[in-house]
Copies of this chain bind each other. A is one copy, B any other.
Amino acid sequence: MKKNITISDVAKQAEVSKTTISRYLNGQFGSMSAETKARIAQVISDLNYRPNRQAQALKSKRSYLIGVIVSDISNMYSSLLLKGIGEVLEAAGYQMIIMDAANSVEKEQDLLHKLIDQSVEGIILQPSSRDASRYEFIQSEKIPLLLVDRGIEPLIYPFVTTDNEAATKKMLPYILEKKYQRVVVISEPLADILTREIRYQSIKDMIEAENIHLDLLEVTSETDLQMEINTCLAYPEKTVLFASNGKMLMEVLTILITGNISIPDEIGVTGFDDWNLSALVGPGITSIEQQTQYIGNVTGEQLLSYLDDESKEQEVKVVPAKIQLRDSL
Contact = CB atoms under 8 A, between A and B. Distances in A.
Interface in A59-86: 63, 73-76, 78-80, 82-83, 86
Interface stretch (A113-121, A204-212, A228-236, A300-308): A113-121
Contacts of A96: 97-99
B140 A2 contact: yes
Contact of A82 (B55, B100, B114): B100
A145 to B, nearest CB: 15
B253 A280 contact: yes
A97 B95 contact: yes
A280 B2 CA distance: 53
Nearest to A284: B257
A238 B293 CA distance: 39
A114 B257 CA distance: 46
B281 A118 contact: no
Contacts of A79: 73-76, 78-79
Nearest to A137: B48
A51 B87 CA distance: 31
A103 to B, nearest CB: 11
A91 B320 CA distance: 38
Contacts of A118: 53-54, 95
Contacts of A19: none
Contacts of A258: 279
Copies in the complex: 2
A318 interface: no
Contacts of A55: 54, 58
Nearest to A74: B83
A52 B57 CA distance: 11
A314 interface: no
A280 B98 contact: no
Interface string A36-60: 0000000000000011111101100
A8 interface: no
Interface string A273-293: 001010111101000000001
A95 B116 CA distance: 13
A122 to B, nearest CB: 16
B100 A83 contact: yes
A100 B76 contact: no
A255 to B, nearest CB: 10
Nearest to A51: B117
Nearest to A97: B97
Specify which of A63, A96, A100, A142 lies most central, judged by the most chain B CB atoms within 10 Å of its CB.
A100
Contacts of A282: 280
A280 B140 contact: no
A1 interface: yes
Interface of A: 1-2, 50-55, 57-58, 63, 73-76, 78-80, 82-83, 86-87, 90, 95-100, 102, 113-114, 116-119, 140-142, 250, 253-254, 257-258, 275, 277, 279-282, 284, 293
